[in-house]
Amino acid sequence: MNDKSTFVELDQVSFGYGSRTILRNISLRIPRGKLVAIMGGSGCGKTTILRLIGGQIKPTSGRVMVDNQSVAALNTHQLFLLRRKMGMLFQMGALFTDQTVFENVAFQMREHTDLPEALIRNLVLMKLQAVGLRGAHHLMPSELSGGMARRVALARSIALDPELILYDEPFAGLDPISLGVIGQLVRRFNDALGATSIIVTHDITESLNIVDYLYMIAEGVVIAEGTPADIYQSTHPYLKQFVNGHADGPVPFHYPAPDYAHDLLGDGL
Amino acid sequence: MKSIADYLTLLGHQVTERLVLLGAVFHFLFSIFFMSGTCLRRPWLVVREIYFVGVFSLLIITVAGLFVGLVLGLQMYDTLERFGSGDGVGMVVALALVRELGPVLSALLFSSRAGSAITAEIGLMKATEQLTALEMMAIQPLARVIAPRFWAGVISLPLLNVIFCAVGIFGGYLVTVKLLGVDAGTFWSQMQNAVDFRQDILNGIIKSVIFALAVSLIAVFEGYSSVPTAEGVSRATTRTVVLSALVVLALDFVLTAFMFRGF
């Protein structure tokens, strides 16, 4: 297990709330320095994987290893030390609404480092320049559009140059231009920082453009994996439906129901 | 048809549920104490919150204090005058404000103005994943968000209470001396003779500190444990105001019994 080339590893991990199982004996490896997407339809358990990696929840069985440490076995102090190596982009941005764009990006630098304010100022401006929002440093989160807020959140998640960046649905709800911008930034930050990145998303087109490797999850198990080229060539029926966006296929359009004619002609439901 | 055993089970369930909740509240309180080191190292965090909960409550506290003093002066003068002792109105106004009305009314106003705001803010921070974001940044929300707001409440309310009492007494002075013609010297000297610093003023402030602990704890606890949805935050905010009012009034009775009747 002490493998330097693997940064994150899920080994036979299961997780569920009560009787509801979300992940079943799932195993995946995220190599150091790579940009990997975890894909699947809504409710397939992909965000749960991010929360397991971040140590917000513990698996019911199996092991989640990050940087050769078992996340569930760490105490709060050790977990917080590990999290300092992580940056996370939340689906809704989770910007601090009582702080300006500048203060949001500076937040972790002020909390975790003793850097002089002049240096923090320059670092923040550099992060904001990287996402194209240096001119918006004085705005409040409520004054930003969805795409801008996502970019600020992106700048905040890389504020301390993390080794691992977790992206929860970075493309959700964005217009095509913003979507392309975020995609390129995600790729660029991964390469420029030498970081390992995990994207959880259901946006297959954008993901196939930027990622190195892809895991496809359905009903709590990995059903396919490979490089974008592998995925394009795959004949797996679920993958074909997902890539082409067909309404019906292995994932049925209709919720399970009795026979249609029987329902129409019968009385009562 | 439910049997007696069913009702007993239900009663037992209700009681244990309340006890578990009470345990959770005190566990939360001790966690705040435990995590208060950040507030000591960076007092600016608390000062900033004092500005939001304390300074922004000044208007409602002073206006309410003034009107309470005005009404109290009118009513007390009217009643006392029937016994020919209208001159003692200064004493009665001061005692009523310092011992009871000041601490209780300022706590009720504070919970409506600042407590509800704290609950809503923390609840919305939870709903928009800001608290989770803090945890993922390796920062304890209890130390960075909850404790500063809690201590800001605990520090602000006793100060607001003092302001409420002072403005209230001034209101009483205005209405009785300037309007009804009570002699100013008598008004102040009667008050000075009757109001004891330790017995009346200090006890009033102690009451206010205890109310401040209760109201602030309820506000941060309700926010932190709220269901992270629009409905959940709205319910938590309502609960903060209602629960604070009930707890303040009940505590006031207990404290008065101990302080002024020597039980």
Among the partner residues B129, B138, B139, nearest to A94 by beta-carbon distance: B129
A93 vs chain B: nearest CA distance in angstroms?
8
Query: Using CA of residue B229, residue B230, residue B232, residue B236, what is the dihedral sign?
Result: positive
Which residue has 């790579």 as its token pair?
Answer: A34
* B162-205 confidence digits (pLDDT tens): 999 999 999 999 999 999 988 999 999 999 999 998 889 999 99
Q: What is the rounded (10 degree) CA torsion for B14, B20, B22, B24?
A: -150
**pLDDT given for residue A146 in this prediction:** 84
Residue percentage of chain B with pLDDT more than 70: 99
**Integer Cα distance of B176 and B76 in angstroms:** 9
pLDDT surpassing 90 at residue B245? yes
Question: C-alpha B251: how far from its chain's center?
Answer: 11
- pLDDT band, residue B232 (cuts 50/70/90): very high
* B74-90 confidence digits (pLDDT tens): 999 999 989 888 888 99
Contact at 8 Å (CB) between A23 and A13? Answer: yes
Query: Mean pLDDT for each consecutive 10-residue tract of chain A (269 residues)?
Result: 75 85 87 89 81 90 89 90 90 88 93 91 91 90 89 90 90 82 88 90 84 87 84 76 72 76 77
**pLDDT given for residue A39 in this prediction:** 87
**pLDDT given for residue B91 in this prediction:** 92
* B11-35 confidence digits (pLDDT tens): 999 999 999 999 999 999 999 999 9
Contact at 8 Å (CB) between B195 and B203? Answer: no
Which residue has 């002609």 as its token pair?
Answer: A265
Provide CB contacts within 8 A for B170, sequence distance 6+: B66, B69
Among the partner residues A79, A81, A94, nearest to B133 by beta-carbon distance: A94
Ramachandran region, residue B38 (left: φ > 0; alpha: ψ -120 to 50; beta: rest): alpha
Among the partner residues A54, A86, A96, nearest to B130 by beta-carbon distance: A96
**pLDDT given for residue A268 in this prediction:** 65
Q: Which residue of B has its CA nearest to A81?
A: B138
Q: Which contacts qualify for B248-254: CB closer than 8 Å, 24 or more apart?
A: B248/B104, B248/B107, B248/B108, B248/B111, B248/B211, B248/B214, B248/B215, B249/B104, B251/B210, B251/B211, B251/B214, B252/B100, B252/B103, B252/B104, B252/B207, B252/B211
A45 vs chain B: nearest CA distance in angstroms?
18
Tokens of B221: 């606890």
**Integer Cα distance of B7 and B95 in angstroms:** 48
B131 vs chain A: nearest CA distance in angstroms?
9
B244 vs chain A: nearest CA distance in angstroms?
26
Q: Which contacts qualify for A139-147: CB closer than 8 Å, 24 or more apart?
A: A139/A100, A139/A101, A140/A97, A140/A99, A140/A100, A140/A101, A141/A93, A141/A95, A141/A96, A141/A97, A141/A99, A141/A101, A141/A104, A142/A97, A144/A101, A146/A173, A146/A174, A146/A178, A147/A174, A147/A175, A147/A177, A147/A178, A147/A181, A147/A182
**pLDDT given for residue A3 in this prediction:** 62
Does an H or E element contain A267, and which?
Answer: none
Q: Say if B239 is an interface residue toward chain A (CB within 8 Å).
A: no
CA atoms within 13 A on the CB side of A249: 12
Encode burial over A173-195: b for 16+ CB neighbours within 10 A, e otherwise.
ebeeebbebbbebbbebbeebeb
For chain B positions 104-133, those within 8 Å of chain A (CB to CB) are 124-125, 128-130, 132-133
**Integer Cα distance of A87 and A210 in angstroms:** 19
Contact at 8 Å (CB) between B185 and B83? Answer: no
**pLDDT given for residue A246 in this prediction:** 72
Q: Say if B37 is an interface residue toward chain A (CB within 8 Å).
A: no
**Integer Cα distance of A184 and A193 in angstroms:** 14
Taking alpha carbons only, the member of A110, A117, A109, A156 closest to residue A133 is A156
pLDDT surpassing 80 at residue B137? yes
Contact criterion met (CB < 8 Å) for A97 and B137: no
**pTM, to two decimals:** 0.86
Which whole-number Å values give the CA distances from A60 to A43, A204, A221, in the listed order? 18, 29, 15
Contacts of B122 in chain A (CB under 8 A): none
Contact criterion met (CB < 8 Å) for B137 and A107: yes
